[in-house]
Amino acid sequence: MELRAVLAKRWVQALLVLIFWVMLATVLKGVQTQELSTQKNSWFTTILRDFASSIRGNRTESPIFVYFFNPIRVGIQSFIETIMGVIAVPAKGDLIPLLGWFGALVLIGFIVYAASTLRMALFSMAMLAICGMLGMWLLTMETLAMTIGSVVLSLVIALPLGVWAGLNDRVMKVLRPWLDLAQVLPTLVYLAPLALFFLIGIASATIATMIYAIPICIRITAHAIKSLREGPIEAARSAGSTTRQILFKVQLPMAKSTIILAVNQTMLAALSFVVIAALIGAPGLGKPVVEALTIRNVGDGVVAGLAVVFLAIMIDRSTSAAVNRDKSGYAAAEAVKVRRRIGLGVFAVVTLFAIYLSRFVLWFAVWPEQLDFGERVAAVANSLSEWITANLELLTVAGSEGFTVWFLNPLQDLLANSPWWLTLIAISLLALILAGRTIGILTFCLLILVMATGLWNDTMVTLAMTLIATGVVVLIGIVLGVWAGRSARVDRVLRPFLDAGQTMPAFVYLVPVLALFGPTRFAAIVLGVVYAAPVVIRLVADGIRKVPKETVEAAVSAGSTNLQVITKVQLPTSRRSILLGVNQGLIFVLAVVVIGGFVGAGGLGYLVIVGQSKPELAGKGLAAGIAIVLLGIILDRIAQGRPQEARPRTR
Amino acid sequence: MKRVSTRAGLMVALATAGLALAACGGGVNSGSSSSAAAPAESSAAAPASSEAAAPADCGAWSVAMHAWVGYTASAQVLSDVARERLGCDITQTTLDEGATTYDAMEAGTIDVVIEDWGGGRWQEWIDRGAVVELGPGGNIGLIGMFVPQWMCDEYPDITDGANLNEYADLFKTAESGDKGAWLEGPPGYTTIGEKLIEANGLNFKAIYTGSEAALIEALNKGIENKTPVIAYGWEPWYYMANADVCRVNFPANDWSDAAEASGLTDYPELPLIKLASSKLMDSGSPFATLVTNFVWTNEDQNSIAADIEGGMSPEEAAKKWIDAHPEIVAQWLEGTGAS
């Protein structure tokens, strides 16, 4: 082949860039690395620090606080506290909230029944009872109240915006970049700025949850309105209906079940946020999970984490059941309707009686001690974690050292310990070659901004961890994903683990991971892998399953071996899903690698954390947040899997 | 649509009826609605007894609860004395130390920090008149660098910081590359590790462990597996009381503000400071007097912390100490009007 033809190939170009990069980096190791001591500020972080301190100083007097931020804070706080007063937090001097546990339990059951079916109501009550038996009743109710409150506020903002964006493409165009940005934003990042404006507490936590949940809701709602069939709308229009009438009589009713799905997703998003929100003062189940890290009590964290999982299952199932009922409900026969009406009536009476009991009989008011198994579960979790630590330690220590020396350190040398301009140019060139000119230029500009924050070195340390962890995640994802995609049995075995892995807050396994690997970057990588693997496995398995049966059969009958079928047919055909998996893996990993700051991984995550507690480093924390966002955008753009809609969310 | 609205109507009607029923007083709540404040976290616990008559109107105040056990001991004793002897309505609020807490004091949600290690980093809040410094609470904090005891046995001269470089190779890990790994403390804590390394020309690299859990796991590994480790530690700290470690000493200190430390010398003994909100101090409440008077020793605090570590609840441990030391409590109560 002619030399020019070879050089025109993209992978050859990328390889050449890589070779030059490695060679130059080896020669220039340790030169102009822009390393900045953790305790020192750059000019940019100094500006941010002074800015943060001036905001602190102004919070009580400046008009923008007195007339804008403070009223919002007080309003949201009292709204959430009102809901909490009903099911979760006793008034001063009281023993129980407005409703004792039994009343709250049956009332929630009734609401689920009214929205879906009796079976689902019983199931929901059972899930909540399990949370109670874990000794977490009041905390579960605090979390539920927070979730309901922030979801209501999110829906008030997101539903109208979503409908508007669904009706009007121009609105969607304005919103889309923000929705995209919100999706790549690791949640740890916006906590510090929020706390600066709204202080630590319920209000900040609620707003943080809303920022997280609103984009999802807008996306699904807009999609619901947009994807309606044109027929009925045209018919209504030709019958002389106004736009307003069409919206309320045709479009909204038709899109209703998808919009309920948006509510379902919004609730799950809000719930998956409880632990992170606890870092800025959200009450509820997140608190013991975060505290478990300080007092090293794995058991308490696991118990609270389990309660989060059960609450998530309950909310997911009951709102999905509401969607299904809504889809099928209209065709019900008259006799069924009557029976249901009687059922509702009976349940209503039972509920009133339960509320009465829960107010006047102690056993029904305060969760009874005989039914509290939390400590026992915690003890089991503790001994399990001790067993793992004691028996797997030798294996893990050797493995993690080797991995760090052979993979992580060389990559970090290349990215962080070589001159900044070399890394900057090399990454931009690779982006140019792999993702096109626009993204190449974008990458270059964003990297310049990273440089301007003064945290170049820390950003590259974080990038090295993220890339390595993503590599591992994708490897695991493809192997297990292909396996699950080809065999229904494997899929059935894996599924519960994937579900639990996705809902269990990453904080819960922080302490066991620490015990196994010590305060290292490897610990952070393990966290990222555990958290991101389920999503990638799912996406790959979905892709494999969608490969047409005929294609596979044709290959088999042509005499291909299993391995050939996988590598020549199934993987190439599901390339899109795998690309999407890589993209999602990157974003999920980045979100959790940042949490690695808690386990000695350093980098940007540590700066975010230290910025929260040391005023003199507040500027560095904010700057690190900005750098993480920039890094997130760069990674997302370079590894962009084309299908934009309906991407799963990061935490 | 019609059926949906009946359903919604039914739900609203029921909810209203339920809440109305619930709101009409009486029941289990009426028994405990006196001023005896139930503990903030678990309202299910028995309310504290409030037999001693309140001398003056104490009011409702919030005490910050920080994560370390020594702090818990101090805060619990303070809260219980205030509740039982002054009839105060005390809420205990768990939150991070440092800026988070000072912000909360400025916002009016926290009134007392009974033990702060910050060494003056609250100045900004004092300048704005939000926070008042009440001086030392009697506990002395001491930060330092520690290695497992077996290392001191094997290499006796390691306890002198000047000899550390001879052993730097021992501390090498995959994290620190060709230098020794120097494990730093949790994010909010005062540290001059980077300065110590630089000024003394130590061949070490500071690794920020990020949490107390990470620090303890690292030290535990070093002690149990006999792997060399050097890590940040402090006293009073319950972990220190039982851990088999010894201190690496640097020359006596020449600084009190970490920002001005030269890095050549060790951490100083740090009198731990009490802070209060100006709201509390301006109120004239007897609780303000109690907090101002509160003084005790490391042994006092450690005895309670040890009881808590041994499995007692903070309330029980605090009660045990209060019952055993009536004379100290009496000194704290001077000027409050309590009998």
How near does any CA of chain A get to the CA of B127, in Å?
Answer: 10
Tens-digit pLDDT profile for residues A64-109 = 888 888 899 999 999 999 999 988 888 777 788 888 899 999 999 9
Q: How many CB atoms lie within 10 A of CB A70?
A: 19
CB pair distance less than 8 Å for A600 and B177: no
What CA–CA distance (Å, rounded) separates A324 from A257? Answer: 8
Give yes or no for a contact between A647 and A584, defined as CB atoms under 8 angstroms apart. yes
In a domain, A32, yes or no: no
Q: How confident is the prediction for chain B on average, in pLDDT?
A: 83
Asked if B98 and A616 come within 8 Å (Cβ–Cβ), the reply is no
For residue B273, give every residue at least 6 positions away whose Cβ sits within 8 Å of its Cβ, in sequence order, or none.
Answer: B115, B116, B118, B133, B134, B135, B136, B137
**A404 neighbors A520 (Cβ within 8 angstroms):** yes
Q: Is residue B185 classed as helix, strand or coil in its secondary structure? A: coil
Question: Which residues in chain A are contacts of B177 at CB distance < 8 A?
Answer: 409
Residue A460: per-residue pLDDT: 96
Nearest residue on chain B to A338, alpha-carbon basis: B3
pLDDT for the residue B84: 93
Q: Which of residues 270-329 of A touch B (CB under 8 A)?
A: 281, 287, 291, 293-296, 329
Q: Tell me: the pLDDT tens digits for B324-339?
A: 999 999 999 998 887 6
Spatial distance between the Cα atoms of B297 and B33, rounded to a whole number of angstroms: 37
Residues 397-436 of A with CB under 8 A from B: 400-401, 404-405, 408-409
* Any B CB within 8 A of A352 CB: yes
The verdict on a CB contact (< 8 Å) between A57 and B128 is: yes
- A477 min Cα distance to partner chain B (Å): 27
> Binning pLDDT at 50, 70 and 90, where does residue A175 land?
very high
Number of domains in chain A: 1
B230-284 pLDDT, tens digit per residue, is 999 988 887 887 789 999 999 987 777 777 888 888 998 888 999 999 999 999 8
d(CA A404, CA B174): 6
In angstroms, how far is CA A276 from the centroid of its own chain?
10
Instruction: Give a yes or no: residue A357 inside a domain.
Output: no
> Can you give the residue range of the structural domain that contains A525?
395-420+456-651
Q: How confident is the model at residue B202, as a pLDDT?
A: 94
Instruction: Supply the pLDDT for residue A524.
Output: 92
In a domain, A651, yes or no: yes
Contact yes or no for A281/B103 (Cβ under 8 A): no
Q: What is the pLDDT of residues A283-340, one digit of tens each?
A: 889 888 887 776 667 788 889 989 998 998 898 888 888 877 766 655 567 788 888 8
Strands B131-148 and B89-94, sheet pairing:
unpaired
Binary contact (A518, B221; C-beta < 8 A): yes
Shortest distance, CA B141 to any CA of chain A (angstroms): 18
Q: What percent of chain A has pLDDT over 90?
A: 36
Amino acid B1: pLDDT: 42
Contact A495, A561 (CB under 8 A): no
Q: Which residues of B touch A293 (CB under 8 A)?
A: 211-213
**Interchain proximity B60–A39, CB inside 8 Å:** no
Give A228: exposed, middle or buried? Use CB within 10 Å, 0-12, 13-18, 19+: middle
**3-state DSSP: chain B helix, strand, coil percent, rounded to 5?**
45, 20, 35
Residue in A93, A409, A599 closest to B214 by CB? A599
Our CA-based measurement puts residue A269 at a distance from the nearest CA of chain B, in whole angstroms, of: 25
pLDDT in tens, A420-478: 999 999 999 999 988 888 899 999 999 999 999 999 999 999 999 999 999 999 999 99
- State yes or no: pLDDT of A282 exceeds 90: no
Partners of B93 in beta bridges: B64
Tokens standing for A505?
Answer: 């807050």
Tell me whether residue A218 is in a domain: no
> What is the DSSP code (8-state) at residue A67?
I
Nearest CA in chain B to A86: B19
Residue among A90, A359, A615 whose CB faces B99 most closely: A615
Distances in Å between the Cα of A18 and the Cα atoms of A12, A14, A417, A507 are 10, 6, 16, 36
Neighbours of A234 (CB within 10 A): 11
Compute the average pLDDT of residues B68-84: 92
> For residue A201, is it left (φ>0), alpha (ψ between -120 and 50) or beta?
left
Most confident of A143-157, A496-510, B18-32: A143-157
Separation CA A540–CA A208 (nearest Å): 31
Nearest to A212 by CA among A257, A157, A251: A157
* H or E segment to which residue B142 belongs: strand B131-148
pLDDT tens digit string along B284-293? 899 999 999 9
**Residues 62-91, chain A: which have Cβ within 8 Å of B?**
86, 90
Alpha-carbon torsion A558, A562, A567, A569, what sign? positive
When mean pLDDT is compared across A168-172, A292-296, B167-171, the lowest value belongs to: A292-296
Which helix (DSSP H) or strand (DSSP E) does residue B115 occupy? strand B112-116
**Chain-chain contact of A296 with B213 (C-beta, under 8 angstroms):** yes
Size of interface A-B (CB pairs under 8 A): 217
Tell me if A347 is assigned to some domain. no
Backbone torsion region of residue A284, taken as left when φ is above 0, otherwise alpha when ψ lies between -120 and 50, otherwise beta: left
Determine whether the interchain pair B95/A200 forms a contact, defined as Cβ–Cβ distance below 8 Å.
Answer: yes
Would residue A473 count as lying in a domain?
Answer: yes
Nearest CA distance, B327 vs chain A (angstrom): 31
In a domain, A293, yes or no: no
Average pLDDT rounded to a whole number, residues A129-141: 93
- Nearest Cβ partner for B213 among A86, A344, A514: A514
**Per-residue pLDDT reduced to its tens digit, A40-65:** 888 899 999 899 888 887 777 788 88
- In 3D, which of A136, A155, A302 has the Cα closest to residue A218? A155
Q: Token digits for B229?
A: 């480790």
Is the model's pLDDT at A5 over the cut of 50?
yes
Per-residue pLDDT at A193: 87
Q: Which domains does chain B have, with CATH numbers?
A: 52-140+271-333 (3.40.190.10), 141-269 (3.40.190.100)
Q: Which residue has the higher pLDDT, A86 or B33?
A: A86
In order, the DSSP letters of B234-280 are: EES-HHHHHS-EEEEB-SPP--SSGGG--SSS-PPEEEEEEEEEHHH
- Nearest of A462, A432, A407 to residue A595 by alpha carbon: A462
Residue A413 pLDDT class (50, 70, 90 cuts): very high
pLDDT band at B33 (very low <50, low <70, confident <90, very high): very low
pLDDT beyond 70 at A641: no
Tell me, what CATH number does A577's domain have?
1.10.3720.10
CA–CA distance, A542 with A552 (Å, rounded to integer): 15
Q: What is the mean pLDDT of residues A362-388?
A: 87
Tell me what pLDDT residue B45 has: 36
* Residue of chain A nearest B14, judged by CA positions: A348
Distance from CA of B168 to the nearest CA of A (A): 18
B289 Cα to chain A: minimum distance (Å) = 24
Q: Which of A283-292, A421-430, B94-103, B171-180: highest mean pLDDT?
A: A421-430
Tell me the two tokens of residue A628: 């993480």
Rounded to 5°, angle at Cα B194 from A619 and A26:
90
Q: With an 8 Å Cβ cutoff, is A515 touching chain B?
A: yes
Q: What is the mean pLDDT of chain A?
A: 87
Q: What is the pLDDT of residue A294?
A: 66
CA pair distance B4, B339, nearest whole angstrom: 65
Cα separations in angstroms, A233 against A358, B31, B207: 50, 61, 63
Q: Which residues of A touch B68 (CB under 8 A)?
A: 294
Burial of B53 (0-12, 13-18, 19+ CB in 10 A): exposed
pLDDT of residue B10: 59
Rounded to two decimals, what is the model's pTM? 0.84
Does the structure show a pLDDT above 80 at B32?
no
CA angle B112, A200, A527 (to 5 degrees): 115
Residues 6+ apart with CB under 8 A from B261: B192, B195, B253, B254, B255
From residue A583, alpha-carbon distances to A218, A540, A566 in Å are: 22, 12, 22
Task: State the pLDDT at residue B163.
Answer: 92
How confident is residue A16, by pLDDT bands cut at 50, 70 and 90?
very high
Sort residue A134 into left (φ over 0), alpha (ψ -120 to 50) or beta. Answer: alpha
Structure tokens given for A130: 């399990």
A575-595 helix and A618-638 helix, angle to the nearest 10 degrees: 170
pLDDT of the residue at B23: 57
Nearest CA in chain A to B126: A57
Q: Which of B32, B210, B216 sits opposite A94 (nearest CB)?
A: B32
Closest CA to B43 of A41, A194, A365: A365
Q: In whole angstroms, give the CA distance from residue A250 to residue A237.
A: 10
DSSP per-residue string spanning B196-221: HHHHTT-SEEEEE--SHHHHHHHHHH
Give the nearest partner residue to A351 out of B18, B32, B225, using CB atoms: B18
Q: What Cα–Cα distance (Å) separates residue B168 from each residue in A267, A488, B172, B200?
A: 52, 55, 7, 13
Contact A618 B99 (CB under 8 A): yes
Three-state DSSP string of A122-149: HHHHHHHHHHHHCCCHHHHHHHHHHHHH
Q: What is the pLDDT of residues B195-212, one digit of tens each?
A: 999 999 999 999 998 888
CA distance B255 to chain A (A): 17
A359 and B21 within 8 Å at the Cβ level: the answer is: yes
What is the arithmetic mean of pLDDT over A378-407?
Answer: 83
DSSP label at A30? T
Given a cut of 70, whether residue B53 has pLDDT beyond it is no
CB B304 within 8 A of CB B317: yes
Q: What number is the average pLDDT over the span B304-314? A: 82
Q: What is the pLDDT of residues A177-225, one digit of tens each?
A: 888 888 777 778 888 888 888 888 889 999 999 998 999 899 889 988 8
Instruction: Find the closest chain B residue to A52 by CA distance.
Output: B99
Q: How far apart are CA A381 and CA A296, in angstroms?
A: 12
Classify residue A624: in a domain, yes or no: yes
Q: What is the mean pLDDT of residues A162-183?
A: 89
Q: Minimal Cα–Cα distance from B106 to chain A, Å?
A: 8
Confidence band (pLDDT; 50, 70, 90) for A389? confident
